[in-house]
Amino acid sequence: MRQRWGLRTKQELTPALEDKLAFTITATGSFSEAAALAEKWLGSSVDDSTLHVLTQRLGERAEEQLQARLKTVPQESAPQRIASELAIFELDGWQARYRGPGFGKKKTKKKRVEWHEVKVGVFYLQEQAGGKSKDRGVLSEKVVVSWVEEGGAELGRRLHWEAVRRGAGRAQHILVLGDGAPWIWNVAADRWMGATELLDFYHASEHVWALGRALYGEDQAKEWVEEGRIGELVSVQTAFSYFNRDATNILNRKEVGGGALYDVGCYAVNTSRYLYGREPARAIALVERDPEFGTDRLTSGMLDYGGAHLTFTCGTQVVPYQRVNAFGTKGRIEIEIPFNAPAGAPCKIFLDDGSTLNCSSAETTIFPIVDQYSLQAEAFSRAVRTGGSVENSIEVAVGNMRVIDALFRSAESGRWETV
């Protein structure tokens, strides 16, 4: 009857069946996937909630055994080993998805899904760090401990116990590597006082960039406009072009959105909207289309911001070039390479009061070499992890398309079009 009806939540299981189901759970990525696999070898249906309950029950049993072990004095597993010169602890944390108290219920005010930070610690001795395999370091021996908690005290307790068993107590020096989170240094101070604390390179570079943004800003042109450094902003001029005649390139396929205005003209539109801080009232454009591709290979346009303008030219069959000039009543801002930061050279922005016509009066600000795509990915990751905002929201994108549509309508009608 049990085989015919299948396994359901809170059903009694034999030790052998528990063992097989537990192995299936660990070998798969989710309870539903484990249930589907178990159904194949069991020959009857398995409810994923059954596996969830089993996991909790086995976890509680394992936790009782672990707590009893943690109350004992750890004995080193290889006391004959020569004392290590350096013991290394690496600590980190990440958000993991858990089933909430309302999971699986059709009507509930309780959370169906909850997110908790999983804190993890890794311990190894210096001599256990070997060479590289596929560009990744290899550890011949290590111990990994994880725990879900607000602080890090319990993780430190568990990791320290396991580390002592593996020779941490006789190591001459201790190194703690972390990402800068306060809880990591608190654990280090609590468990390994006197250890050398090291911030990993990736997060160190993030903190340096955060400091740079705080000191110098990453939106220098916008800040100068808002501070009135050039007086009232009345005109923005933008040029963005490259040469591409490859018929197979997606940029030259009209049916999938190829062409100059969609590809690079959008930057001119968005730059002006960003600097002015408002939407244009109307638009006008002149378009030259490729006779073979049908895409706009050369587009020039103007946006009316009510007493202020954007004028721009973009092209897909023009010498490669890009530049932004923002003209005010008292000064001018020029961005040398505004859209594709070069990989091997710094970016420059100029602030000119117009006292000379050969630009010798311009003040130059130099920004360090950056990988703009990495910065974009980091900004997105930061927004996902912290729940913060992104610089360009979906509303900004929709507004940009509204202007582009007006420009294309103008190219067909030959007159100004309302945005």
What distance in Å separates the CA atoms of residue 407 and residue 419, rounded to the nearest whole number?
Answer: 9
Distance between CA atoms of residues 55 and 34, nearest Å:
12
CB count, 10 Å around CB of 37? 16
- pLDDT of 3 reads 43
User: Which of these, 419, 402, 401, lies nearest to 284 by C-alpha position?
Assistant: 419
pLDDT at 368: 80
Q: What does the block give as tokens for 416?
A: 């100004």
pLDDT digits (tens, 9 = 90+) for 350-373: 999 999 999 899 999 888 887 788
How confident is the model over 285-308, as pLDDT tens digits?
Answer: 999 999 999 999 999 999 999 999
Which domains does the chain carry? Answer: 2-70 (no CATH), 86-102+110-199 (3.30.420), 214-418 (3.30.360.10)
Note whether 101 and 110 are within 8 A (CB): yes
Cβ 295 vs Cβ 260: under 8 Å: yes
Question: H-helix or E-strand containing 123?
Answer: strand 113-125
Confidence check: pLDDT of 224 > 60: yes
Q: Read off the pTM.
A: 0.54
pLDDT for the residue numbered 377: 83
Q: Give the pLDDT confidence score for residue 284 in this predicted structure.
A: 98
Q: Residues 6 or more apart from 18 whose CB is under 8 A from it?
A: 54, 58
List the structure tokens of 217.
Answer: 């800003």
Residue 336: which of 347, 351, 320, 352 has the closest Cα? Answer: 347
